[in-house]
Amino acid sequence: MSASPPSVSPTTPPAARAAGPVPTQADLLDFVRRTAADTRLIASLPLDPQGRTWVRLEGPGGSEAWLIGWPPGTGTGWHDHADSVGAFLTASGELAEYSLAARLPTDGWKTLELSEGVDRKRRLAAGQGRSFSHHHVHEVLNESPDRHAISVHAYYPPLPRIRRYSRTGQVLRLEQVERPEDWQ
């Protein structure tokens, strides 16, 4: 892992990246922290007033990394990153993360009733971030009514799939499983 911030490379396939030691959650968090400190890179992201924008970055050790712009009021919806660990950090603005402090079954279910007390909320102002383990279920939102946010994300291994959920009260329902070919 180099000490300098990554270069923007929206077309470099993961297999073509230089492999190194398998990055840990701490490595990914260090990477997103260093990358978010690159003010020139952060300022280079084109922002759209209607939808999220993103640019793929060179992550450490073959990880998948992204610079993401969030217009006011946008979010991801509930999802997880399957078998990948990850980290993200707010580079500008503020993001909210809603997550579940419970380990969910990884497969074989469509609807779960969540126990009381599993909900967590974090506010992540510029310079704040977090790492997370496999199967971390969350949603990330820019709740500002008038200000964009920008964040840096990294995942290892590169995302094999994302599971998307809907939530009504304490009921979580698996709605869709996306694979990398769905994002092309």
> Does residue 173 have a pLDDT over 90?
yes
Strand-pair partners of 89: 129, 152
More confidently predicted of 69 and 160: 69
> Does residue 75 have a pLDDT over 70?
yes
Q: Which domain holds residue 99?
A: 22-183
CATH number at residue 159: 2.60.120.10
- pLDDT tens for 109-128 read 899 999 999 999 999 999 99
Estimate to the nearest angstrom the gap between the alpha carbon of 38 and the chain centroid.
Answer: 18
3-state secondary structure of 14: helix
Identify whether the C-beta of residue 121 lies closer than 8 Å to the C-beta of residue 97. yes
In a domain, 13, yes or no: no
What percent of the chain shows pLDDT beyond 70?
Answer: 89
More confidently predicted of 157 and 105: 157
Global confidence as pTM: 0.86
The sign of the dihedral angle between the CA atoms of 45, 137, 118, 166 is positive
Neighbours of 10 (CB within 10 A): 10
Q: What is the dihedral of CA 158, 91, 176, 25, to 10 degrees?
A: 40
What is the per-residue pLDDT for 24?
A: 96
Q: How far is the C-alpha of 94 from the C-alpha of 150, rounded, in Å?
A: 8
In a domain, 15, yes or no: no
Strand-pair partners of 95: 124
pLDDT class of 23 with cuts at 50, 70, 90: very high
pLDDT class of 4 with cuts at 50, 70, 90: very low
Mean pLDDT confidence for 33-43: 98
What is the per-residue pLDDT for 11?
A: 36
More confidently predicted of 105 and 89: 89
Torsions phi, psi for 110 (to 5 deg) = -120, -30
What is the per-residue pLDDT for 42?
A: 98
In a domain, 2, yes or no: no
pLDDT class of 21 with cuts at 50, 70, 90: confident
Mean pLDDT confidence for 122-144: 96
What is the per-residue pLDDT for 169?
A: 95
In a domain, 170, yes or no: yes
In a domain, 135, yes or no: yes
Residues 6+ apart with CB under 8 A from 143: 73, 94, 96
What is the per-residue pLDDT for 102?
A: 85
In a domain, 16, yes or no: no
Number of domains in the chain: 1
> Does residue 30 have a pLDDT over 80?
yes
In a domain, 10, yes or no: no
129-132, strands of its sheet edge to edge: 53-58, 64-70, 149-156, 85-92, 129-132
Mean pLDDT confidence for 120-137: 96
